[in-house]
Amino acid sequence: MDVQRIRKDFPILKRIINGKRMAYLDNAATTQKPWQVLEAETEFYANHNANIHRGLNALSQEATRMYEGAHEKTAAFIGAESMEEIIFTKNTTESINLLAYSLGEKLREGDEVLLTKMEHHANIVPWQQLAKRKKIKVKYAGITEDGRLDMESLESMVSERTKIISVAMASNILGTINPVEKIGRIAKKAGAHFIVDAAQSVPHTKVDVKSIGCDFLAFSGHKMLGPTGIGVLYGKRELLDGMEPFLTGGDMISTVTLEGAEWNRLPWKFEAGTPNIAGGIAFGAALDYLGKIGIGNAEAHEKKLLAHGMKRLSEIKGVEQYGPSKGQRTGILPFNLNGVHPHDLSEIMGRNAVIIRAGNHCAQPLMREMGIEGVARASFYIYNTEEEIDLMARSVEQAKKIFGA
């Protein structure tokens, strides 16, 4: 994998901020986009723009073919049976909301949804809302002191009332990779539906829905070189077939009378209204790009960067790092500098054109569990270099000096 060559594909990486070349280390929030993705979107609008599934005109057929092609690419990318199991949504959040409504509709008072304490708000709040509507119970499996999922806690919370288990494949703060295959087996034994929030995994590692044994899997296009506004929900066909649609209206129906409607075939039953056609097609181009690089190569590169980052930060006195010290981790590096609030750290880094994230990262329950207010987080992707991490480490040193920490 030639990082310097990859970098040439990303126009934004040439950005100068405060007179310095930008080091973009906030990839867990969103990734940058290569020309190939930008061009795919422009090319669609310039040459093929039409609404899909509308009429028999040639242009609409082209647009439909391209948009459906993106579904097919997505199915292949995560090992789904067919594109009928791939629903394009806005993002991971919408994918999980769709489930909380359509799948959640089947739950009865007293049923239980099992989550973990390391979930992103996107995999907490929709279930809390469902709990209010349906009088169900939401339970949270605990985490160990070093930030791994406490499997004993999880298993102890599974009961015959557990109808849904929904777990992040990787934590967006700690980078912890959870044993989803094992949880899949637990869910199967309990007769519960198993949902995987793979927003921090599909961009970084080979994800195969069959080997995980999940019923549903959600992720976002913009965290893997694609445009914003395209997310994915994978669902097993027989389950999607048995679910009522989340949003209703145009394109998702087969027939409508004044008395009612019948639903369109999958996946369109769950894609009401004109979808983000250009975004979907551009997401397909992002999948092509990642396919060429090879997701295994990306993973190996990020692992190397993580090891370098952990080492550089460990050399700075007063830096506390979080996340499992051993075991599986994605390219996410969470830390704090004693005596300096993470926002101030991020501010000083920003002045050096080093872009990281600081705060509670949409996971307030996890922050409370860890007993910290916030955390600075660097997260890596295919175009990052060890030099950029060195720049970040130098900024930490500088913050230490400014604050006399």
What is the edge-to-edge ordering of all strands in the sheet holding 319-321? 319-321, 332-337, 375-379, 357-359
Compute the distance between CA of residue 144 and CA of residue 153 in angstroms, rounded to an integer: 10
Kindly state the smallest distance separating residue 348's Cβ from another protein, in Å: 8
Q: Which is nearer to another protein, 277 or 363 (CB)?
A: 363
What is the closest distance, in whole angstroms, from the C-beta atom of residue 343 to another protein in the complex?
4
What single letter denotes the amino acid at residue 225? L
CB of 322 to another protein, least distance (A): 16
**Closer CB to another protein, 260 or 404, in the complex:** 404
Residues between 162 and 181 that touch another protein (CB under 8 A): none
Q: Which of 362, 367, 372, 405 is catalytic?
A: 362
Q: How far is the CB of 194 from another protein (least distance, A)?
A: 31
Toward another protein, which CB reaches closer, 253 or 367?
367
End-to-end CA distance of the chain: 39
Per CB under 8 A, contacts with another protein among 327-386 are 339-344, 347-348, 351, 359-360, 364, 367, 373-374
DSSP SS3 for 109: coil
Rounded Cα distance between 308 and 389, Å, is 8
Would you say 352 or 384 has its CB closer to another protein?
A: 352
Q: Can 214 be counted among the known catalytic residues?
A: no
Name the β-bridge partners of 139. 114
Q: How many whole angstroms from its chain centre is CA 285?
A: 18
Q: How far apart are CA 42 and CA 56, in angstroms?
A: 24
Cβ distance to another protein smaller for residue 299 or 344? 344
Q: Which is nearer to another protein, 73 or 117 (CB)?
A: 117
3-state secondary structure of 220: strand
Distance in Å, CB of 222 to another protein, minimum: 19
Q: How far is CA 321 from CA 61, 332, 333, 394, in A?
A: 53, 11, 8, 16
DSSP 103: T
Question: Whole-number minimum distance, CB 128 to another protein, in Å?
Answer: 16
CA 89, CA 234: separation in Å to the nearest integer?
A: 10
Interface with another protein (CB under 8 A), residue total 18
Long-range contacts, stretch 181-188, CB < 8 angstroms, 24+ apart: 181/211, 181/212, 181/213, 182/151, 183/154, 184/212, 184/213, 184/214, 185/213, 186/154, 186/155, 186/158, 187/158, 187/215, 188/213
Q: What is the CA radius of gyration of the chain?
A: 22
Q: Which residue, among 339, 357, 355, has the nearest Cα to 399 in the 3D structure?
A: 339
Binding site for another protein (CB under 8 A): 339-344, 347-348, 351, 359-360, 364, 367, 373-374, 402-404
Would you please indicate which residues are annotated as catalytic (active-site) residues? Answer: 362
